[in-house]
A = this chain, B = another copy of it.
Amino acid sequence: MTLLKSWVASANTDATDFPLNNLPYGVFSTEGTPRCGVAIGDQILDVAALEAAGVLTLDGGPYLQSGAWNDVMAAGSAVWADLRAKLQAALAEGAAEQDSYEPHLVAQADATMHMPFVVAEYTDFYAGKHHAFNVGTMFRGPENALPPNWLSIPIGYNGRASSVVVSGTDIVRPNGQLKGPNDELPRFGPSARFDIELEMGAIVGQPSDGMISVQQADDNIFGYVLLNDWSARDIQAWEYQPLGPFQAKATATSISPWIVTRAALEPFRTSTPDRDRELLPYLKEPGPMLYDIDLEVGLTPENGRESIIARTNYNEMYYSAAQQLCHHTTSGCAMRVGDLLGSGTISGPDKENRGSMLEMSWGGKEPMTLETGEVRSFIEDGDTLVLRGAAQGHGYRVGFGEVSGMLLPAPEVPDFAR
């Protein structure tokens, strides 16, 4: 596929994340209530206004009036396809709809972005093999790096939906229980090993009740976002046995404001890697269900300039989101519209491909030097972390924009906690 031309001039370049091929879904405001919009070039098409005006109509609608994309998700795949087809036709070069659509464009520079959907529940996985191997090596040595179940199960745990925030939201360093390996007792105070995790988030667009196949799971995924699973490593180390991470992961989970639909990513499908151990039949994929998406992490110290501290690709995952969603339903677990599945940290094979600072600095033993000459093992107050991602086509790209967050100092420990 090549670049599809639009009458929105800024969309007709390989420098934009948002050509006509993409058309990601977000929620924006200029003044007043947040409303559903679609990115095209450097503009946002106010589809809520178009639907309210009767210019854009969808079977069984309205679906675009709630300030969230959940209603569209719940409407099902026929509506998903119809909306995308209508928007691609109306925004195409030479389209007769230009006159009626053009008044509903808003410059992205003038808009504030909001959460694109209501998160029903949030599940985070641990499905990147390089990440699991790196973390396992640090804690248990290379011989025992991967847990025995890792090659059979897309390991996941339930996260906290209330932690999910949109890109641009400031992140406050958490307090928590901390106990160093040489401390006799824990103390309460600010996390000193606060970290990112570079992930993709898959959004469940259709409900299920009972076990579904990998193919059905893929069909039920509405789209993808970039996801930063902020993690307090020192809180995690003390709390996570035996029932998994809890407060270490509850401070915030940032997502990109634009949902890139599965349809937009179709040209970039790729397969999960060869298996080190044969999967059980239910987890086998009938076709390629990963995507070739280049990813990078930038770190900007306060009043400094950005260093790119990692480059990797979503195709490094061992398990696809479809496999994860399928596994999620094995016990009969009901899935709902708006469930968010974090991929797990996406690290590649080499040092520059690591998706967490825990791995980049090897647990703090090998601090990184930034372009400014500053040194980092974990995030410092005032640092802004940005994840970016895009699938690269011929002369165009399908991008996610970015997910950014600045770390603010921890709140003062309250009197009742001293």
Contact = CB atoms under 8 A, between A and B. Distances in A.
Contacts of A211: 175, 411, 414, 417
Contacts of A186: 149, 152-153, 280
Contacts of A162: 120-121, 333-336
A351 B243 CA distance: 25
A177 B121 contact: no
A240 B239 contact: no
B239 A242 contact: no
Interface stretch (A7-15, A91-99, A245-253, A311-319): A245-253
Contact of A159 (B158, B187, B327, B330): B158
B177 A250 contact: no
Interface string A324-352: 00011011111110000000000000000
A251 B155 contact: no
A333 to B, nearest CB: 4
Nearest to A410: B332
Number of copies: 2
Contact of A121 (B121, B213, B214): B121
A268 interface: no
Interface string A172-196: 1011110100000111100000000
A281 B177 contact: no
Contacts of A177: 149, 152-153, 280, 330
Interface string A217-238: 0000000000000001001001
Nearest to A214: B416
Given A177-B280, A281-B416, A281-B417, A332 B250 contact: yes
A280 B189 CA distance: 11
A329 to B, nearest CB: 9
B241 A243 contact: no
Q: Interface centre among A160, A242, A331, by most B CB within 10 Å?
A: A331
A8 to B, nearest CB: 38
Interface string A115-155: 00000110000100000000000000000000111001101
A363 interface: no
B155 A239 contact: yes
A367 interface: no
A272 interface: no
Contacts of A280: 177, 186-188, 417
A57 interface: no
A328 B282 CA distance: 36
A210 interface: yes
Contact of A175 (B215, B331, B335): B331
A418 interface: yes
Contacts of A61: none
A243 B331 contact: no
Given A149-B239, A175-B211, 12 more contacts: A121-B160, A153-B177, A155-B243, A156-B243, A156-B246, A157-B243, A158-B160, A162-B335, A177-B330, A214-B416, A240-B243, A251-B333
A330 B239 CA distance: 13
A156 to B, nearest CB: 6
A163 interface: yes
A161 interface: yes
A153 B178 CA distance: 11
A157 B247 CA distance: 9
A244 interface: yes
A57 B213 CA distance: 50
